[in-house]
Amino acid sequence: MKKHNFSAGPSILAREVIEKTAQAVLDFNGSGLSILEISHRSKDFEAVIEEARQLFKEILEIPEGYSVLFLGGGASMQFCMIPFNFFEKKAAYLNTGVWASKAQKEAKGFGEVVEVASSKDANYTFIPKDYVIPTDADYFHITTNNTIYGTELHTDIDSPIPLIADMSSDIFSRPMDVSKYALIYGGAQKNLAPSGLAFVIVKDELLGKVSRYIPTMLNYKTHIAEGSMFNTPPVLPIYSAMETLRWIKANGGLVEMQKRNVAKAELLYNAIDSSKMFVGTAAKEDRSLMNVCFVMKPEYKEFEAEFLKFATAAGMDGIKGHRSVGGYRASIYNAMPVESVQALIDCMNEFEKQH
């Protein structure tokens, strides 16, 4: 039976990326050695990390004056790394979900944090609007896509102060204006590579401004100076990231990714909206193109566990919703084919017919 991988992360990768990564694990570049055992200082791997860096810059059209870093520790390490490097007196945060809240909590250890707006009282079902960004803060932090709650910022906002964004789950899903950001970061395990890697895109001129001592490993300037090689980087995920970026470029870049993502999301949301049994959980104007969250309507709540069992038996993997939302979550990242989305819709329709 064909499996359809709707997992929120670690999540689906393009089949050819998996196959090429698997080949590199067996024999990297015809060297007779595995990518798992080669030196990160070897010329072969230096070529990999450099190509990945250049593809980042090309695909995202990153302006001059920004550095691209590949780091360990995942996106969660960035929750403290950002304030270490940017926080002097005050920071501002937009609270749109669990990960935004965790980033904000970490920053509170460095001084005054202003929560400019929050949708927590509504269980994060929408993205707050009409808030005021304090101009005396050192930076404004946002989370562009909220995997747990299925909400997303669909445009690059304007900020009067340095804008920092966690783009773990929607990076490379649409064209964007990197010049509007001071720093963009994310874990790789949603739209880019296996887990174990964080990417950072940072505007160089904004670093070195804080008065505090920054631990060497937590200083972005350390990793810029050493080309992400200050210590041994996560070699395998960087290789997979390079292959994913090659795949994105070969498949039409970000314009084509966005076109596909919009089509897939519209297909699934339309099925949910026209269903007698299912209903979406996020405000329509803020619905994520990456993570589609939905539940049973109250009158069909008794069938919730039964549908999960039914869908899983039909090959729909990873659709159980997060415990804070319940119901179901279909993560439809770049690598998710439209055929899998249709298979889920067919599964929903069949279950509806039976009940």
Catalytic residues: 99, 166, 190
Longest dimension (CA), the chain: 65
The structure tokens listed for 227 are 């080309």
Question: What's at 225, amino acid-wise?
Answer: A
Task: State the Cα–Cα distance between residues 75 and 197, nearest whole angstrom.
Answer: 8
**What length is written for the chain?**
355
CB 185, CB 199: distance < 8 Å: yes
Task: State the Cα–Cα distance between residues 241 and 20, nearest whole angstrom.
Answer: 11
Task: State the Cα–Cα distance between residues 35 and 114, nearest whole angstrom.
Answer: 45
Task: State the Cα–Cα distance between residues 81 and 151, nearest whole angstrom.
Answer: 25
Q: What is the CA 126 to chain-centroid distance, rounded?
A: 18
